[in-house]
Amino acid sequence: MPFPPITITERLLHAVKRLEVTTQAGIRLATGYCCQVPVNAERSLPAIITTRNALAQASAVTSRFHLAGPEGPLRESAILRMEGETLNIVLHPKPGVDLAALLHARAITTWQEANPGRQLFSQWLDEGAFFPEDRWEELDMQESVAVIGAPDKLWDECNNLPLLLAGSTASHPLLDYNGQPEFVVSARMLPGMSGAPVLLQQVGARGSRTPEAFAQRSRFGLLGTLRGGMGADPHGLGLVVKARETISLLESIRADVAGRLKPN
């Protein structure tokens, strides 16, 4: 059972969030995944990565986090709402890259002040969860991928966990599709999954559910962020913004925050 999460995949489930984005036109559903921005040796800043389009014209964003227990996440979850001063959206520094980050530290602090003695459980994709840039040359035309998303009508509200959908690369991941830092995957592209992390998934048997067994699956890591379907068929092909652009976004946040922390 994934409470507490044991395997790499179970931990990843807890790092992926369903986002309800409030706009003047209504509620837009999307997916995001949690990362940490290392500002300096003493401080890290939590961020939820999703797409620029998912957060367009947002006046509020809500997500649900599991409550934290002594051994990990509890089954009970709480709503974290970001609006006004607690809604901090950072767009990718390149306007043509469809990525953005929600900096939700202030929203967490506000929630904890309103709920003394309780904590929200946080799980994130750290640097080790990204497929190393110096190993991308190993990638072939057809690779198995896992897309972890929170589709609208298939959302597991009871357990507050996303779905993991299998797919494969449809364009060569080493090439920039149509000159953009993207590649194409073939997988189920359902409404609400924009912003989902796409991970290289090595196919193969394992002996058990222990972390050691999963550690042997060396070809496993974040390849990018799903940004939407292609063409008229929403269930076939999707564009993925390459993970190097996620790193660029996190680095731009780190540089900005670190610069503001410097003494005058």
DSSP symbols for 165-178: EEEEESS-TTS-GG
Rounded distance, CA 264 to CA 261, Å? 9
Residue 21 pLDDT more than 90? yes
Instruction: Specify burial of residue 130 (Cβ count, 10 A radius: 0-12, 13-18, 19+).
Output: buried
Decide: pTM greater than 0.95: no
Residue 38: the pLDDT is 86
Q: What string of DSSP letters covers 198-232?
A: EEEE-----S-SSHHHHHT--SEEEEEEEEEE-SS
Residue 204 pLDDT more than 60? no
Q: Which domains does the chain have, with CATH numbers?
A: 8-125+246-261 (2.40.10.10), 130-243 (2.40.10.10)
Residue 7 CB neighbour total at 10 angstroms: 16
| Beta strands 100-103 and 144-149, pairing class | unpaired
Residue 214: the pLDDT is 47
The fraction of the chain above a pLDDT of 90, given in percent, is: 70
Of 75-84, 165-174, 183-192, 238-247, the range with the lowest mean pLDDT is 183-192
